[in-house]
């Protein structure tokens, strides 16, 4: 039996609810919202939202990202990374565009050159 897979972005929004803890890597063709805890890497072809109660301990690679919670690890965003006032990031970020609200905290390096690997992958597909 062959496995029929698609690399096209999906309109589905995955949700990790508050009180849920996941250990392991997540790969999705759609969008994802994290209000619980993720211990692992996250790769999404769509938008990633880390809600106010959400936390990620691992690397994030995605198209767009809104952060209200906490991230410990590298964040690579192909288009817009938006850091809300309650966000706390400990790690390096690479993005094309960056929006930062007063009160947001970033402890790491920021690179904004528009040449992220994700953008190259997205154009090829």
Mean of pLDDT over the chain: 88
The answer to whether position 5 is within a domain reads no
Task: Identify the band that residue 114 occupies on the pLDDT scale cut at 50, 70 and 90.
Answer: low
The answer to whether position 105 is within a domain reads yes
Domain range holding 61? Answer: 13-117
The answer to whether position 7 is within a domain reads no
Task: Identify the band that residue 59 occupies on the pLDDT scale cut at 50, 70 and 90.
Answer: very high
The answer to whether position 6 is within a domain reads no
The answer to whether position 27 is within a domain reads yes
Report the alpha-carbon angle 112-117-121, nearest 5. Answer: 135
Q: Which residue has the higher pLDDT, 116 or 26?
A: 26
The answer to whether position 25 is within a domain reads yes
Q: Identify whether the C-beta of residue 68 lies closer than 8 Å to the C-beta of residue 50.
A: yes
Where helices occur in the chain by DSSP H, the ranges are 117-124
Task: Let me know how long the chain is.
Answer: 125
pTM over 0.75: yes
Q: How many angstroms separate the Cα of 46 from the Cα of each of 32, 60, 84, 106, 111?
A: 8, 12, 19, 23, 21
Residues 6+ apart with CB under 8 A from 51: 18, 33, 34, 35, 68, 69
Number of domains in the chain: 1
pLDDT of 32:
97
The answer to whether position 79 is within a domain reads yes
Query: Taking residues 114-125, what's their average pLDDT?
Result: 49
The answer to whether position 124 is within a domain reads no
Task: Identify the band that residue 10 occupies on the pLDDT scale cut at 50, 70 and 90.
Answer: low
């Amino acid at each position: 039996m062959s496995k029929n897979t698609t690399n096209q972005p999906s309109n589905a929004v995955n949700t990790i609810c508050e009180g849920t803890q996941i250990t392991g890597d997540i790969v999705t063709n759609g969008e994802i919202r994290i209000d619980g805890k993720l211990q692992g890497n996250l790769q999404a072809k769509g938008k990633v939202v880390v809600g106010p109660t959400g936390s990620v301990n691992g690397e994030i690679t995605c198209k767009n990202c809104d952060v209200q919670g906490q991230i410990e690890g590298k964040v690579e965003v192909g288009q817009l990374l938006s850091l809300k006032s309650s966000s706390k990031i400990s790690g390096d970020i690479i993005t094309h565009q960056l929006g930062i609200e007063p009160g947001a905290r970033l402890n790491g390096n920021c690179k904004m050159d528009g040449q992220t690997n994700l953008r190259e992958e997205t154009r090829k597909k």
